[in-house]
Amino acid sequence: MIDIKFLRENPEKVKENIKKKFQDNKIELVDKVIELDAESRKTKQEADDLRANRNKISKEIGALMAQKKKEEAEAKKAEVAAGAKRLAELEEMEKQLEEEINKIMMIIPNIIDSTVPIGKDDTENVEIEKYGDPVVPDFEVPYHTEIMEKLNGIDLDSARKVAGNGFYYLMGDIARLHSAVISYARDFMIQRGFTYCVPPFMIRSNVVTGVMSFAEMDAMMYKIEGEDLYLIGTSEHSMIGKFIDTIIQEEELPKTLTSYSPCFRKEKGAHGLEERGVYRIHQFEKQEMIVVCKPEESPVWFEKLWQNTVDLFRSLDIPVRTIECCSGDLADLKVKSYDVEAWSPRQKKYFEVGSCSNLGDAQARRLKIRVNSEKGKYFAHTLNNTVVAPPRMLIAFLENNLNEDGSVRIPEVLRPYMGGQEVIK
């Protein structure tokens, strides 16, 4: 959510930003907010004047009563009563106007960074750099669920009976590999100076609307029936929510946290052939990283965050590349975003395994995450990035470490988490 003062003073910049995101239907909202804001400030001024007048008259009443001028005092009291009725009306108007303005401001997209490429959708995202040499073996690489099934590592049929499509049982060495990757990612981030955290897996609606757009919320979140609680789609939600309505001392920044959680997503819509199996599912586990920092430091942290993911995947011998999301592919709260994509030897192309985002002060403004400095208070900047999200990451892992005989090599860094095991047979 952008600063209403910025919108008030720069309406054309906000409109131009909306055009860059190809959301022209929202342009009229800028003028609507300006109109409502003017009405709100006018209403507030009248209410403030009435409050000041009430205080002034109250003092006069006290003086008149002291002078035993009862009739004049009663007349003043009647004047206060008449003002009180109007003040109550104005306060209700203030509340309604504030709610309406806030509702509109929540759907006006954040101002994107000047370096973001302009494009309509993900087909116009831009490749930044490749890391590692993509290899296509001289033997056929099966679909990931076939690899798992041959290793007695997955049971989709039972999961469908128990929970429906989009769920799975991981078994044996594949289940252990899944846990090993999560544990390795946890320790990897701790070694990079991040504080480990296991957060709540449910959050209230005010946190949901603080961390994401309404469109994302509808597409992703599962609501707990009869309660003001939602299952998290990523631990970023509860991790950023940890700082809701707080004032952080500037010298305590940055806050760098890495968190483990299960994640729950509706995953609405039709999905292609390559998104079967464990690629796009309703429940998975993830290691995440978030940063709360000073505004001037968020670009530097953005570069550090996506590099962490690249380094982790390279330590597992998986080739990756970074992709910059174009303006039309950015969620409304994001200032800038990179996707990290892993190489698929079977598909002979890259696919997304993580996403790094700088949200500027949008989440902090919604959640009232402020920083106290010598120069006064300001809103913090927030960033988030996927460390690793198995089982999707396991697809890249299995394909890139598959041997011709169907066994899977375990990279050296993972072996301590697999009891020293070097290969899955």
pLDDT (tens digit, 9 = 90+) per residue, 308-365? 999 999 999 999 999 999 999 999 999 999 999 999 999 999 999 999 999 999 999 9
Q: Which residues pair with 340 in a beta bridge?
A: 322, 354
Residue 269 pLDDT class (50, 70, 90 cuts): low
pLDDT at 84 over 60: yes
Q: Please give the model's pTM, rounded to 2 decimal places.
A: 0.89
Residue ranges of the alpha helices (H) in 280-415? 298-315, 362-367, 392-400
Q: What is the pLDDT of residue 7?
A: 95
CB 170 within 8 A of CB 151: no
Map residue 257 onto helix, strand or coil: strand
State how far Cα 112 lies from the chain centre. 15
For residue 50, the model assigns a pLDDT of: 83
- Please give the DSSP secondary-structure letter assigned to residue 133: -
* Rounded Cα–Cα distance for residues 241 and 66 (Å): 55
- Tell me the C-alpha distance between 184 and 176, whole Å: 12
Task: List the structure tokens of 172.
Answer: 């044996």
pLDDT digits (tens, 9 = 90+) for 167-209: 999 999 999 999 999 999 999 999 999 999 999 999 999 999 9
What distance in Å separates the CA atoms of residue 66 and residue 380, rounded to the nearest whole number?
A: 53
Q: Determine the pLDDT at residue 271.
A: 46
What are 106's two structure tokens?
A: 């929540």
Radius of gyration of the chain (CA): 27
**What pLDDT is recorded for position 16?**
97
Per-residue DSSP letter, 417: G
Q: Average the pLDDT over 97-123 and give the result.
A: 95
- 299-313: average pLDDT: 97
Contact 228, 265 (CB under 8 A): no
Residue with tokens 């306060």: 91
* Residues 32-54 pLDDT 10s: 999 999 999 999 998 888 888 87
pLDDT at 114 over 90: yes
Whether residue 258 has pLDDT greater than 70: yes
| pLDDT value for 270 | 47
pLDDT, average across residues 379-391 = 95
Determine the pLDDT at residue 77: 72
Average pLDDT over residues 95-112: 94
Give, for 403, the enclosing helix (H) or strand (E).
Answer: none
Beta bridge partners, 350, equal 343
